Amino acid sequence: MTRVPIAGGWPAGAMRAAAVVSPNVAKVIDLPIPEPAPGEVLVSPLRVGLCGTDLELLHGTASYVRDGRAPYPHVFGHEWVGQVVALASSGPTGTGGRISVGDRVVGHTMISCGDCRACDRGRRNECGRLREVGLYGQQGAAAQYLRMPARALSVVPDDVLDDAAMLVEPAVTVLEGLVQVRCAPGDRALVIGTGTIGLLAVQLTGRLAGTVDVVGVEDNGLAAARRMGARQAFHPGEAPAGHYDVVVEASGAAPAFHEALRTAGVGGRVAAVGVTTEAVDDVHVGDLVLRGVTVHGIRHGLDQYDRVLQLFGDGALAADGMIADVLPLDRVGDAFRLLQDGSRPAPKVALDPRAA
């Protein structure tokens, strides 16, 4: 378990942060340390995971950049674990109880407003006034400090290490998808994709269904999925058509959505977890209707953070074999280059904002 020295008090002055400053250019910049605000805490990030969405921010292709919600310079980082270093008020409350200085926490990517129609109905992930950490409306975690609402934090148990806690954010969406498709023992299950979300889905789907198969394009990813419990590993087009009760599309590639529909059996349930930036053409809706296939778009798993932390603590989910490298903040360019390297040994690349 990683700890940082706590001196007490809310620091002031400048901090270092990794930011996308223009298309395809990311570097370390200086920013003011966020000032105290009611109900908020200051966190020192320990690990910040990078994913495909961060690559889209880097390349300028993310919808948040195109529509102006993520202006440059943009501090990214929505998959993270950190340590609380200061409180703006006494006894702020997170999802698991009171937040204290020294606690390790994971932050919820989606910060809901708490008082719109969706929030009032208990559907926080459908909030009409969302802010998303590292995406729009809220500074990301690729920095020495991050200010967060206490209500958008979950305390990390002592038996969940930093590398595992960093993976909680992608895992909550996987769990929400499996809840939505009612994955249960005896289901014939398939995961499409062997990136971070895909490998987490392999682990969790195998636990819930009993067995799971996987489809992927990279041999090293398929091998990792086998090590994590996949029974059979296929390249696209090889998995049996119309065979599976539950299909998790975790790649975000447009052709993979067709693969999900092709492999789903009569009455099959598809969890679309990966986010494609392309239109998916030639979907035969009549075929879906006649086969009774249901497709669930999984926006996020905002209510699953504490449960996923418990799954990591219980060993139902593990970070082993998931992380290619952890680099210091000033090597952000190298981190993005590694993230784009399809031959890297594991899917996740991370930054350590405290490292020199």
- How is residue 179 written in tokens? 């809840």
Q: The tokens of 49 are what?
A: 């995971």
| Average pLDDT of the chain, as a whole number | 93
In a domain, 122, yes or no: yes
Rounded mean pLDDT, 4-31: 87
**Percent of the chain topping pLDDT 90:** 87
Q: Establish if 37 belongs to a structural domain.
A: yes
Residue 9 has pLDDT above 90, yes or no: no
- Can you tell me the mean pLDDT for 28-46? 96
pLDDT digits (tens, 9 = 90+) for 242-260: 999 999 999 999 999 999 9
Q: What angle (nearest 5°) sits at the alpha carbon of residue 165, between those of residues 164 and 168?
A: 100
pLDDT at 276: 80
Do you find a cis peptide bond into 73, omega within 30 degrees of 0? Answer: yes
Which whole number is the average pLDDT over 159-179? 97
Q: Give yes or no: residues 225 and 108 share one domain.
A: no
The number of folded domains in the chain is 2
Same domain, 292 and 210: yes
pLDDT for 280 equals 84
Q: Are residues 21 and 144 in the same domain?
A: yes
**Domain CATH code at residue 62:** 3.90.180.10
In 207-252 the beta strands, taken as DSSP E runs, fall at: 213-215, 233-234, 244-249
Q: Tell me the per-residue pLDDT of 67-94, one tens digit each, with 9 for 90 and over.
A: 999 999 999 999 999 999 999 876 566 6
Query: Sorting pLDDT into bands at 50, 70 and 90, what band is 229?
Result: very high
148 and 275, same structural domain?
no
Q: What is the pLDDT of residue 6?
A: 43
Residue 311 inside a domain? The answer is: no
Share of the chain above pLDDT 70, in %: 95
**pTM of the predicted protein model:** 0.93
Residue 226 lies in a domain: yes
What was the pLDDT predicted at 96? 61
Q: Quick check: 356 pLDDT over 90?
A: no
208 and 223 share a domain?
yes
Strand order in the sheet with 14-22: 25-32, 14-22, 74-75
Q: Residue type for 205, please?
A: T
- Residue ranges making up the domain that contains 188: 172-297
| Confidence (pLDDT) at 52 | 93
Q: What are phi and psi of 16, to 5 degrees?
A: -95, 140
**Beta pairing class for 14-22 and 74-75:** antiparallel
pLDDT of res. 98? 84
- Using pLDDT thresholds of 50, 70 and 90, give the confidence band for residue 281: confident
